[in-house]
Amino acid sequence: MHQTFQRGLVTWSRATGVRTHLFRGECHHLNTGRSVQPTRNAARVSLTIAEGYGRSEATFVNCVRIGGSYVEEWRTSAYVGASGFKRPGVPSGHTQYLFSPQGSYSVTESFGVYNPGTALPYRQLNPNSRWGGRLGSLYNKYFESAGYTWPDENMWYFAQSGDYRLGVVINYNRPPDSSIVQGDGFAIFLHANKKPTAGCIALHEHEVARYMRTARPGDRIIMGVRADLFR
């Protein structure tokens, strides 16, 4: 249940009780046309905002759509690529360069070593889990192999090191948002282990779990430098 008033809305649920959400901040920019990137009317849009180029520190803001308006549900600190964001429309490129792409991307699947309770299609990682980084038919796709060839990603290795204990696929350079362009970048995820990345968004594991528990297929992640994200 929700009730709108001039400066926000009030929601009630048995789980959370009464909550007041004010129309303000970055989530409200999605309502007022200040967002450069499209929301596609997604039920949930998560913003990842760096304050400048060459910076891996970012703010992650989770916005939920209630009664036709986006309001902030929660926020936290985050990290993106260690080299920061590329310019809008410029591919992130190979993960070895440690750049993140700017844009608006859908979320349709998840993975990890356990399922925290998500409505996203979930893949349980195993010792053969790989993500394609070599140019060819498996580029920017999940596959399984007993062997490993760089620059494919050994997802099981990264699960043991903490990064991929939980993760969500961000559909950069892949369907349904676009066709795959060989060499434009691969393996862009929202994942655990909050530290600078090779291009992904990193939160603490419990924060990724929180995200996954409310995520639905078709939710979006908008990511980039503040000056480029908002008018």
Domain boundaries along the sequence of the chain: 2-225
**136-142 mean pLDDT:** 98
pLDDT in tens, 176-211: 999 999 999 999 999 999 999 999 999 999 999 999
pLDDT in tens, 24-79: 689 999 999 999 999 999 999 999 999 999 999 999 999 999 888 999 999 999 99
What pTM value is reported for the model? 0.91
What strands, in cross-sheet order, belong to the sheet with 2-5?
Answer: 2-5, 8-13, 17-22
Position 67 scores a pLDDT of 85
Q: What is the rounded distance in angstroms from the CA atom of residue 105 to the CA atom of residue 76?
A: 20
* Long-range CB contacts (within 8 A, 24+) of 57-61: 58/201, 58/223, 60/201, 60/203, 60/207, 61/25, 61/26, 61/27
Phi, psi of 49 (to 5 degrees): -120, 120
Pick the range with the lowest mean pLDDT from 2-6, 24-28, 81-85, 157-161: 2-6
- Give Cβ neighbours of residue 204 (< 8 Å, ≥ 6 apart): 76, 192, 194
Task: Kindly state which CATH superfamily the domain 2-225 is placed in.
Answer: L,D-transpeptidase catalytic domain-like (2.40.440.10)
Between 48 and 5, the higher pLDDT residue:
48
Tokens (6 digits) for 102:
């700017």
Position 12 scores a pLDDT of 57
| Cα-based angle 154, 159, 160 (whole degrees, multiple of 5) | 105
Position 19 scores a pLDDT of 58
Tokens (6 digits) for 221:
């992640």
Q: Are 97 and 188 in contact (CB under 8 A)?
A: no
Q: What is the rounded distance in angstroms from the CA atom of residue 190 to the CA atom of residue 201?
A: 5
Phi, psi of 224 (to 5 degrees): 160, -170
